[in-house]
Structure 1
Amino acid sequence: MKPGISKFVWFDGKYTTLEKAKVPITTHAIHYGTSIFEGIRAYWNSENLNIFRLEDHIKRFRNSGRFYSISLGYTDEELIDAVINLCKKNNIKKSCYIRPFYFVGEYGINLHVNENAPVHAAMFMFPFGDLFNKNGISAGISSWRKFSDASTPPLAKMGGNYLNSILATQECKRNGYDEAIMLDLKGNVSEAPGENIFTVKDGKLMTPPLSSSALEGLTRDSVIKLAEDFGYQVKESEITRGQMYLADEVFLTGTAAEITPITHIDNKKIGTGKTGKITQQLMSAYLDVVMNKNEKYSSWVTSVY
């Protein structure tokens, strides 16, 4: 078993061990990226394991495949049960990351994928803490632009889409940054390779719209609602590179990244060069929600045990 990954996985409707979950080298998804995935977090609060926005993740999971006519042969209820029961079967009692995915199986080299193509579904999980340093990270603007709806739907969490993100990540790492920031085809801020982005200026929050090739992130949506609870104005608007440099605060949002402050962009200090007050406030509020300590958002949390 690979270190860190739980012993049991779910594969085509059955629970099995990681070692037995195999696919042939002729699998279509290996050749063409015809795979769809989700990233889901579950949080252990010393009493229960709480899965965050499980139903919303499963809904997006299905919708991503619809762009490509790739059929998911399980109901939402079956997939939700599979996630919960996989946590139970592995007896997970620590915060973890859950990766459900489905993909086109043996289909030759045919590019005409349709609803009749053979599709497999699977999920695995592993313990997971912080993706980034929560005291703040550095970021660099990538020369690789985020692809647009004119070529590939950015709203679909497809395996092949993330080759774009890999190029941007490789570039930023070579240049000594923790993470990349990608611009859209018009030169406005889009998102990071795996996260949405927010700026704060004069107490107002801005985040790029979906038309800037931004993913419709669930953490993004959660943060917008939390910020509005605090009385902050949140606007979806095009953000120029210059506006981002002059922001008081900049932070990323994502299932893996949660809320991560960016303190430097292109070696330029953002605000004070430290985590901003509003970012810190949202980080604290978000942690309460995912730990099931905020009754208003208890519907976002699914308890396992």
Structure 2
Amino acid sequence: MSEQYAYLRGGFLPLNDATISVRTHAFLYGTAVFEGIKAYWLPEAGRMGVFRMAEHYKRLLQSAHILGLQPTLTAEQMGDLTVDLIKRNQCQGATYIRPIIYKSDLRIGPILTVDGTQDDFCLFTVPMDGYLDVEKGIHVGVSSWRRLDDNAIPARAKVNGAYVNTALAKTDGHKSGFADMIVLTNQGHVAEGSAMNLFLVRDGQLVTSAITENILEGITRSTIAELAEKELGIKTISRPIDRTELYIADEAFFVGTATEVAPIVKIEHRTVGDGNVGSITQKLKDLYSKATHGLLPKYGDWITQV
């Protein structure tokens, strides 16, 4: 593999040199926001393509605004740097891209804004095929850890420090033998997965938690809803979901940039449907794969070719 690079403090440098001080505010207090973006090899174009990059950088700036960070770059500039980095790293397969806007001050004290405060942007890539082994579907649990509340640490913003909530849920699930976990709101409604959105299929319709249920407004979530309606004629209902609905769903699946589409065949000790990957889930999984690899020309504007 050729030498890998990252972007940090206004320039490209070897990945192993892309380090920060132990006094960095974002390291001490989690005061940063990030995105997970994925690029794929486009077999028909013979080049890499970044999937829904503009939407990801729009959301990154929204997260920064919620946290009160002051971005140093526009969405377009961050996109240009992303394309440059993919070229420098000679990516030729599925690649996970992690941009971060972070509080770069070297100071003690959690307050976000003081005179002379500094924020910075960094970016790196990691080869990534599957986030979960989903070939035969996954077995998940329901976490005892509740999803963070919008009035505490908003799940709508991808705040680095908030992912301790994800880590607690996912770690406990791993120790219990689950592939991942479903988390509930403080009111007991279904929120989402540990770090991905959730869909159910009930009576031929897609059901997903409302954006007011302390979930991330997922880009893959909106992509799947659009593909379902336009390609399969299936509408998506967004509403509160009770826990017991998990146990009577015909199908269930997680979606996310890293996760892509992960069929769920068992929740806790109950099979989902007949215990196999559902037909609607499989169709959406296949459609999503085709879209990300540039094989659905009508959705070509979702891809930034490199």
TM-score range, shorter chain: over 0.9
Say which of 9, 12, 15 aligns to 1:12. Answer: 9
Give the residue type in structure 1 aligned to 2:128. Answer: F
- 2:146 partner SS: coil
**Offset of residue 171 of structure 1:** 1.2
* Counterpart in the other structure of 2:39: 42
In 1: Cα distance, 2:297 partner to 2:119 partner: 39
Other-structure match for 1:73: 72
Closer, same or farther: CA 262–54 of 1 in aligned 2, 3 Å: same
- TM-superposed CA distance for 1:264, in Å, is 0.4
1:87 aligns with 2:86: yes
Q: Structure 2 unaligned segments of length 5 or more: list them.
A: none
Following superposition, the deviation at residue 6 of structure 1 comes to 6.3
Which position in structure 2 is the counterpart of 1:259? 261
1:231 corresponding residue in structure 2: 233
Q: Deviations over 1:239-292 (max 9, x none)?
A: 111111100000000000000001000121000111100000001111111111
Hey, what's the Cα distance between the residues in 2 that align with 1:92 and 1:104? 29
| 105-114 or 72-81, which deviates more | 105-114
The code of the aligned residue for 1:252 comes to F
Identity of aligned residues (%): 33
Q: Which residue of the partner structure matches residue 283 of structure 1?
A: 285
Letter in 2 for 1:25: V
Alignment of 1:127 with 2:127, yes or no, is yes
TM-score (normalizing by structure 2): 0.95
Distance in 2 of aligned mates of 1:105 and 1:72: 11
1:44-193 matches, within 5 Å, as: 44-46=41-43, 47-114=46-113, 116-134=116-134, 135-193=136-194
Distance 2:272 2:78 in 1: 42
What's the Cα RMSD here? 1.4
TM-score by length of 1: 0.96
Hey, what does 1:214 align to over in structure 2?
Answer: 215
Cα deviation, 1:27-49, whole Å, max 9, x if unaligned, reads 01111100111100001133111
Three-state SS of the structure 1 residue aligned to 2:244 is helix
- The residue identity in structure 2 corresponding to 1:204 is Q
- Deviation per CA, 1:210-259: give whole Å up to 9, x if none: 11111100000000001111111210011111111100000000000000
Judged with a 3 Å threshold, the aligned counterparts in structure 2 of structure 1 residues 60 and 14 are, in CA distance, closer, same or farther, namely: same
Offset of residue 170 of structure 1: 1.2
Conservation of the 8 A alpha-carbon contact between 1:189 and 1:208: yes
CA distance in 2, matches of 1:215, 1:101: 17
What residue identity is the alignment partner of 1:125? T
Tell me the residue number matched to 1:26.
Answer: 23
Alpha-carbon distance in structure 1 between the residues aligned to 2:202 and 2:3: 43
Partner secondary structure for residue 210 of structure 1 = coil
